[in-house]
A and B are shown apart, each in its own frame.
Chain A
Amino acid sequence: MLLIHRMLATRAFRLVGSRALSTSICLRGGHGVAKVEDYALPAYFDRRESPLPDIKYVQQLSPDQTSLKEKEKGSWAALSKEEKISLYRISFKESFAEMENGTGEWKSVVAGVFFFMGFTGLVVLWQRKYVYGDVPHTFDPEYKQKEVQRMLDMRINPVEGFSAKWDYEKNTWKK
């Protein structure tokens, strides 16, 4: 009984790459081992950096595909163009050109960014009305005027900056 089980297990492992393994329980040495999960098996993925995935894309071949695979064992020159393409599509899901194509996802991302910026604007406006208190008295126009006058009296930046723009003879801003 044990020998049969071990033989079945080794036979099963030789079929690596076949999805039929996914729900079987592996018995080795008479002990029950954890069920082999889907994610633990070799997977198929289209990626530029690893062009040959671990398994073929199509696992269960239809009768047409099986017969095509038989034909593939002969001379490849005998295959028609459509047959070659079918063989390719059995092994691979997307061609390099197809997998490199952009998804247009950036449009959704930009749209989301703008939306949340707008929402934040609304939040800021609400805050200004309902959360913040008054500004200090130093922002009053009269106070600001006295501030400017004092800065001119002190000759702040008289060469190229603030006071340089003031005409002290005519007591007005320079044109």
Chain B
Amino acid sequence: MTMSLTKPAMRGLLAKRLRFHLPIAFGLSLIAAIAFKYAVTEPRNKAYADFYKQYDATKEFNAMKEAGIFESVRPSGE
């Protein structure tokens, strides 16, 4: 116990922590965003594009009309 201990760091503690953690935080956030884009939004956009590529609005309307769900226009039978 005769030698004196080294003086601990008194300043710049937050700066040191930020220098370490901020790049990691930004990097992880970026990765999360990119992963979400390619795992979720891209398939979703593609699904919508494919759906509407072969979509015939009139045909769908007539099918729905015959099913009898509309109130303004009834199926052809009635």
Contact = CB atoms under 8 A, between A and B. Distances in A.
B68 interface: yes
Q: How large is the interface on A (under 10, 10 to 19, 20 to 34, 35 or more residues)?
A: under 10
B47 A153 contact: no
A114 B10 CA distance: 48
B47, B63, B67 — most chain A CB neighbours (10 Å):
B67
A159 B52 CA distance: 9
A150 interface: yes
Contacts of B48: 159-160
Interface in A124-172: 150, 153-155, 158-160, 168
A153 B67 contact: yes
Contacts of A158: 51
Contact of A153 (B44, B51, B69): B69
Contact of B44 (A150, A154, A160, A168): A160
B60 interface: yes
Interface residues of B, number: 10
Nearest to A149: B67
Contact of B68 (A153, A155, A160, A168): A153
Nearest to A160: B47
Nearest to B49: A159
Contact of B51 (A150, A154, A159): A159
Contacts of B68: 153
A154 B63 contact: no
B47 A150 contact: no
Contacts of B51: 158-159
B64 A154 contact: yes
B67 to A, nearest CB: 4
Contacts of A153: 64, 67-69
B64 A168 contact: no
A157 B60 CA distance: 14
Interface string B54-73: 00000010011001110000
Contacts of A150: 69
Interface of B: 44, 47-48, 51, 60, 63-64, 67-69
10 contacts: A150-B69, A153-B64, A154-B64, A155-B60, A158-B51, A159-B48, A159-B51, A160-B44, A160-B47, A160-B48
